[in-house]
Amino acid sequence: MQATMMDFPLTLAHIFERAGRLFPESEIVSRMPDKSLHRYKYADFYSRAQALIAALRKLGLKRGERVATLMWNHHVHLEAYFAIPCMGGVLHTLNLRLSPDDIAYIANHAQDRFLIVDDVLLPLYDKIRANTNFEKVIVVPLSRSSVPAGLENYETLISRPRPVRLPRLKEEDPAGMCYSSGTTGRPKGVVYTHRALVLHSLASALPDVMGIGNSDTVTPVVPMFHVNAWGIPFTAVMVGAKLAFPGPHLGAASLLDLYQSEQVTLTAGVPTIWAGILQALDHEPSRWKLSAGMRMVVGGAAAPESMIRAFDKFGLRVIHGWGMTETTPVAAVNYLKRGLESAVADEQYALRAKQGVPLPFVEVRAMTGQGEAPWNGTTMGELEVRGPWVAAGYHDLDSELDKWSEDGWFRTGDVVTIDARGYIKITDRIKDLVKSGGEWISSVDLENALVGHPKVAEAAVIAVSDPKWGERPLAVVVLKPGQSATQDELRGHLAPKFAKFWLPDAFEFVAEIPRTSTGKMLKAKLREQFKDWKPGGR
Ligand code: AMP
């Protein structure tokens, strides 16, 4: 029997055209470098993005060719997000927090033809200029109207908006590309198809995922240069939501001002950002009037239970999710399944601190040396995933093929337990687990408990070598400003929650914990720093 459905490709072009037609009145707000708010509507976004398509065509951009962006989160970046893939090009977002050396490597590896860069980031461009080979550099004049000689002015380029016809795209065509930041080795490129981005957007909009709808006002704090700001710009435009971009201003007060002035209903970012927001709210609890029940999607690193509890007190709802550059990125999101709303508060919070259940069309398993781990909430194994928005390989790289199992699953490098209800709990990155006397200790569990201590701002637990046990946990702790604490106090805080052998041998107090460009703790650096650590002095 033959199916009788239309062959209709899943492409971003549909999302773009639909937004232009159905939602011309939806607003897009961006905080500019001078802190003022730029406002326009989807109708402007649509016509300016069309003008960008016409301009890129005129510059000779061909199907499948890459255009790099070096930009903060704002409306012009959104124009590039749609114009480049909808004309058949590939949007390559460069991570401006990487070292100039890495940025240049990535741009060259991806063979980016053009670059669109914020004028405020020109000093960074200057650092990569000598080692890169962009044919055209297009400058977005955010802070001044002129651009340096020899470079194109974005506004001049798109100054004559006119309707364009989009090419017929296939859903398997490449649309975007992003390099995984990684904590070791060179960054690796993932190429997203139109189909993956569209399906990811549909899934993200589901009520039990981010639940983004037309009446939402959405602030992606997660950078548009990090896995497409978790796909939120695509999802939000698909449903015609209002967008409020923070621009380069990611400080807690500036974000809270934006949440208040735009009455933001959904925002998303890494735990470091939310820790700052919490401190600001604790400090001045009645300064900001936020939209009641604002959802805060937290991912990229574990959201500690204490953080989820603290935001609840302010009437703000943390949604904990898990994903990777290789999974577009959202692959699991936490919500309380039917029946669990009546569980006691402690059980609910323990569940909400887990990384959630897999999205529809994402399949997960935890693999041990003996095969797939049972879903019992205690057996640890490496998380493997597969699905229509999971990468099947890296761009132009043959050396990492062992990241995929023989039966086609992606090996995430995350160690997890999966409980009987399907909730995934990340216990560690494989390389960060502490193995003491043959038993695994989860550094993430210890860290989450430590940041639950009222004096602790941040904590990292790393393995240090030990002649008797092989490895022992060492806690590296940053205290909140003006606080002091003793080792015994912190050990006493952990003792009721963990087996005795899990308790760190020592607590080292430091001013800050080194982080990657995307806010993850750089444990490799800490391990290096404490490699000669000995009990009682180094
Ligand atoms: P990236 O590709 O840079 O987005 O990093 C992906 C990695 O971030 C994952 O493999 C996890 O190790 C970590 N990660 C992401 N979300 C979470 C989360 N909710 N809890 C703990 N770790 C997370």
Task: Identify whether 267 is part of a domain.
Answer: no
Is residue 334 in contact with ligand 1, taking CB distance under 6 Å? no
Over residues 499-517, the pLDDT tens digits come to 888 999 999 999 999 988 7
Amino acid, res. 401: L
Task: Identify whether 263 is part of a domain.
Answer: no
Task: Identify whether 78 is part of a domain.
Answer: yes
Give the total number of structural domains in the chain: 2
Task: Identify whether 184 is part of a domain.
Answer: yes
- The rounded percent of the chain whose pLDDT value lies above 90 is 84
CA pair distance 121, 523, nearest whole angstrom = 29
Last residue of a domain, one of 198, 228, 250: 250
Q: Give the per-residue pLDDT at 430.
A: 85
Of the two residues 59 and 160, the one the predictor is more confident about is 59
Q: Which of 322, 425, 429, 445 to mutate to test the pocket of ligand 1 (most atoms within 8 A of CB)?
A: 322
Is residue 538's pLDDT more than 50? Answer: no
Task: Identify whether 321 is part of a domain.
Answer: no
Over residues 30-62, the pLDDT tens digits come to 999 999 999 999 999 999 999 999 999 999 999
Domain that holds residue 160: 12-250
Which numbered atom of ligand 1 lies nearest the CA of 298? 19
User: What CATH number is given to the structural domain containing 458?
Assistant: 3.30.300.30
Over residues 215-244, the pLDDT tens digits come to 999 999 999 999 999 999 999 999 999 999
Of the two residues 39 and 441, the one the predictor is more confident about is 39
Q: Which of 226, 362, 520 to mutate to test the pocket of ligand 1 (most atoms within 8 A of CB)?
A: 520
Average pLDDT for the chain:
94
Is residue 411 in contact with ligand 1, taking CB distance under 6 Å? no
Q: Which of 272, 324, 335, 357 to mutate to test the pocket of ligand 1 (most atoms within 8 A of CB)?
A: 324
Is residue 322 in contact with ligand 1, taking CB distance under 6 Å? yes
Task: Identify whether 152 is part of a domain.
Answer: yes
Last residue of a domain, one of 250, 285, 316: 250
Last residue of a domain, one of 233, 250, 267: 250
Is the Cβ–Cβ distance between 463 and 495 less than 8 Å? no
Is residue 327 in contact with ligand 1, taking CB distance under 6 Å? no
Is residue 20's pLDDT more than 70? Answer: yes
Hey, whose CA ends up nearest to atom 1 of ligand 1? 324
The count of other CB atoms within 10 Å of the CB of residue 531 is: 11
**Predicted model pTM:** 0.90
Which numbered atom of ligand 1 lies nearest the CA of 412? 10
Q: Mean per-residue pLDDT for 439-462?
A: 92
Is residue 181 in contact with ligand 1, taking CB distance under 6 Å? yes
Ligand 1 geometric centre to CA of 17 (Å)? 33
Is residue 166's pLDDT more than 50? Answer: yes
Is residue 329 in contact with ligand 1, taking CB distance under 6 Å? yes
Q: Give the per-residue pLDDT at 184.
A: 59
- The rounded percent of the chain whose pLDDT value lies above 70 is 98
pLDDT band at 465 (very low <50, low <70, confident <90, very high): confident
Over residues 236-292, the pLDDT tens digits come to 999 999 999 999 999 999 999 999 999 999 999 999 899 999 999 999 999 999 999
Is residue 181's pLDDT more than 70? Answer: no
Long-range (24+ apart) CB contacts under 8 A made by 8-11 are 9/169, 9/170, 9/171, 9/194, 9/195, 10/171, 10/194, 10/195, 10/198, 10/199, 11/86, 11/169, 11/170, 11/171, 11/173, 11/175, 11/194, 11/195, 11/198
Task: Identify whether 391 is part of a domain.
Answer: no
Is residue 518 in contact with ligand 1, taking CB distance under 6 Å? yes
Q: Return the bridge partners of 91, or none.
A: 67, 176
Is residue 182's pLDDT more than 80? Answer: no
User: What CATH number is given to the structural domain containing 201?
Assistant: 3.40.50.12780
Task: Identify whether 32 is part of a domain.
Answer: yes
Is residue 369's pLDDT more than 90? Answer: no
Continuous segment of H or E residues that includes residue 472: strand 470-479
The count of other CB atoms within 10 Å of the CB of residue 463 is: 21
